[in-house]
A and B are shown apart, each in its own frame.
Chain A
Amino acid sequence: MKIHEYQAKALLARYEVEVPRGEAVETPGAAAEAFRRLNVARAVVKAQIHAGGRGKGTFAENPARRGVQSVGSPEEAEQTAAAMLGKTLVTVQTGPQGRVVRRVLVEAGCAGRRELYLGLVVDRNRGKPVLIASAEGGVEIETVAARRPEAIFHEPVDPWAGLRGFQVRKLAKKLGLDAAGEQSAAAFLPALARCFLEQDCSLLEINPTVVAEDGTLLALDAKINFDDNAAYRHPEWTELRDLNEEEPTEVRAQAAGLSYVKLDGNIGCLVNGAGLAMSTMDLIMLHGGKPANFLDVGGGADVPQVTEAFRILLSDAGVRAVLVNIFGGIMRCTTIAEALIAAYQTVGVHVPLVVRLEGTEVQAGREILAKSGLNIIAASDLTDAARKVVAACNAAVSA
């Protein structure tokens, strides 16, 4: 789960991580008020969307405007906010369709001597979080990694104890911090690690971290993603979630306990298990078709879940045929067969439906489908299923 920059900064402030003073607002008038309250010569107005590259991003309605702009008066803050709010910001990460800006952050401007990169992620190989640091901040870390990998430093974080003092000292040396900078880092870096661990983050990125004139570190930007698996112990995440930033069908699927990702093809897929679901997409492509989605009904799908899965699949107007591919392990084939019939009757499936069943109680499952009298095309194996669904889809398209 992703949150906005202003939310991430509020969270970091609770860990006494230095962040610029600022306010998130939803109207141009409130932006002017926020500027007055900051009582500074210059402020920055930053569009709040769940995507990076905002500073270089431009608005679909006015390509001269950027997603981050410096302002010097309440009037300018108001005009700038008006040019952002309700408009579509397109960045390298949003795709060409962009995102509508619903909030802007008005923040005290700050100058620094240098910009650093600091980020925490879970390192799969080490099996623990790792703090990634570079003196080359303000650009994407992937760019630095590709150009100068030796400029990136890694310190593993003990998931019980956090970041140790000696690790801070090592990093301070490598980053070229002076005495004041090292003193600031001694609080700043362990606080980031503590936030990452306590808040169940999957990503925490401060890019850039500014080194101010007096040597102190300041989080000029902030990006936080949470580990969805930990949601049960963070009821406060419900408040932080912004459904406007998510694909509506994906939200709906998640609510039903399904895993769904919309793609741009025309063959809908309903599969149990993530690996098999991905492979089913690959298989369709290999046979000349285009998958419309990834959909994993999981291990214990019941009638309501499968019904909802069909509704979600068929809500995509581009879907011309559906492939159900089930290999029963936890899920019995009889369960899926009954669920398919119930869903078919409830939802009213109006496109060709190819079903391939294998696994636990497969014979009984196939019999249930055969006796149902429904217009279901049975497939015997993967290749057979792919050929049949691609043929059915092509026939539907040309009809």
Chain B
Amino acid sequence: MSILVDRDTKVLCQGITGKAGRFHTRRCLEYGTRVVGGVTPGKGGTQAEGVPVFDTVEEAVQAAGADAAMIFVPPPFAAEAVLEAVDAGIRTLVVITEGIPVLDMARVMPHVRAAGARLIGPNCPGVITPDACKIGIMPGYIHRRGPIGVISRSGTLTYEAVWQLTQLGLGQSTCVGLGGDPIVGSSFTDLLELFAADPETEGVLLIGEIGGNAEEQAAEYIATRFPKPVAAFIAGRTAPPGKRMGHAGAVITGGKGTAADKIKVLNEAGVVVADSPADMGAAMRRALDAGR
């Protein structure tokens, strides 16, 4: 078991003929992901990386049976790409694109929710169930199948965490990058609910950062309803207030959203919080040993 994606997931790449779309479609295929097609308007009937390209998502769903979308479409057209995938019946959307206007996401998310679809991202590394399905840009080889669920707001910091887990012999059930934007399709709590119900997942590693209160909400959920051991790391203890730290969502505003606040509530919720980013994997080990 795993969450969101598995060996049977049939993936469609929107924006497959762009540089990043092409490169990562190849990487996903090499990893073993069932990429069944791509979409680029005007390029229908051609092939990219050995898979058929369609003009519309609807055609791709009908002809190739795609049930998940990996979106690399550039920011001006990304919101439209999301709506098109939802319209065509896709219910798992992974949006890699960085730089989508915040209000575009505000406009499309109600449609995604109304359709009962789940959107991961935008501005995220994607989702991977090791040895089964990789939808995104993460390096596949650092992962190993096992009992740990990983949820993160970051990209490369997630790779770091996964690498530490793998080296400690702690494999992963599914790893999810939520994305670094102010409005993202899924929250820590959304994913924790899925991991709670997944029998393969024995513990969860959360990787948060400054800004917003997604970690605080996760802490409340963990304290009251999440039955498995949780470890966490929060990036940005040394970040100055009022400055956007790369991610559009990583900014301390009005004294809210500091790392110290997040660490405090996570600790109070019984989460093992790593002090150092070098200690993320070990913190997970300690959380498992302590049990719950």
* A positions within 8 Å CB-CB of B: 122, 124-125, 127-129, 141-142, 145, 159-160, 197, 200, 202, 227-230, 232-233, 259, 261, 263, 271-286, 291, 294, 296, 299-300, 326-330, 358-360, 381-383, 386
Contact = CB atoms under 8 A, between A and B. Distances in A.
A328 B137 CA distance: 10
Contacts of A232: 75-76
A389 B207 CA distance: 25
Interface in B67-101: 75-76, 98-101
A273 B154 contact: yes
B195 interface: no
A263 B239 CA distance: 9
Contacts of B103: 122, 129, 159, 197, 200, 227, 230
Interface in B212-264: 212-214, 217, 233, 235-240, 243-250, 254-255, 259
B182 A275 contact: no
Contacts of A358: 159-160, 163
Contacts of B182: 122, 124
A275 B154 contact: yes
Contacts of A327: 156-157, 159-160, 163
B246 A259 contact: yes
Contacts of B244: 261
B249 A279 contact: no
Contacts of A359: 139, 142, 156, 159
B76 A233 contact: yes
Nearest to B240: A263
Instruction: Give 5 closest A-B pairs by Cβ, nearest first.
Output: A275-B154, A274-B246, A273-B156, A275-B157, A279-B277
Interface size classification for chain B:
35 or more
14 contacts: A124-B214, A127-B109, A129-B106, A229-B100, A230-B101, A230-B103, A232-B75, A233-B101, A261-B244, A274-B246, A275-B157, A327-B163, A329-B137, A359-B139
- A interface SS class: mixed
Contact of B278 (A127, A272, A274, A283): A283
Interface string B154-171: 111111100100000000
Contacts of A278: 157, 209-210, 235-236, 238-239, 245-246, 250
B260 to A, nearest CB: 12
A281 B238 contact: yes
A285 B156 contact: no
Given A278-B250, A383-B278, 9 more contacts: A124-B213, A142-B255, A275-B235, A276-B155, A278-B210, A284-B238, A286-B275, A299-B155, A382-B277
B238 A291 contact: yes
B101 A142 contact: no
A286 B154 contact: no
A382 B163 CA distance: 12
A281 B234 CA distance: 12
B125 A285 contact: no
A128 B104 CA distance: 10
Contact of A159 (B107, B155, B278): B107
B62 interface: no
Interface string B262-292: 0000000000000111100000000000000
Nearest to B138: A329
Contacts of A228: 248
Nearest to B185: A127
Contacts of B212: 124-125
B153 interface: yes
B291 to A, nearest CB: 27
B155 A329 contact: yes
A329 B278 contact: no
Contacts of A233: 76, 101
Contact of A382 (B249, B250, B278): B278
B99 A229 contact: yes
Most buried by A among B76, B106, B217, B255: B106
Given A124-B183, A125-B213, A276-B160, A229 B75 contact: yes
A276 B154 contact: yes
B1 interface: no
A282 B236 contact: yes
Contact of A275 (B109, B156, B181): B156
Given A286-B275, A296-B246, A160 B101 contact: no
A283 B274 CA distance: 11
A359 to B, nearest CB: 5
Interface in B170-219: 180-183, 207, 209-210, 212-214, 217
B20 interface: yes
B155 A382 contact: no
Nearest to A129: B106
Contact of A330 (B20, B102, B254): B20
A395 to B, nearest CB: 22
Contact of B155 (A145, A273, A283, A360): A273
A272 B156 contact: yes
B119 to A, nearest CB: 11
A122 B75 CA distance: 19
Contacts of B213: 124-125
Contact of A261 (B180, B243, B276): B243
A387 to B, nearest CB: 10
A19 B214 CA distance: 37
Most buried by B among A200, A286, A330: A330
Interface in B133-150: 137-139, 142
Contact of B102 (A142, A227, A383): A227
Contacts of B154: 273-276
B152 interface: yes
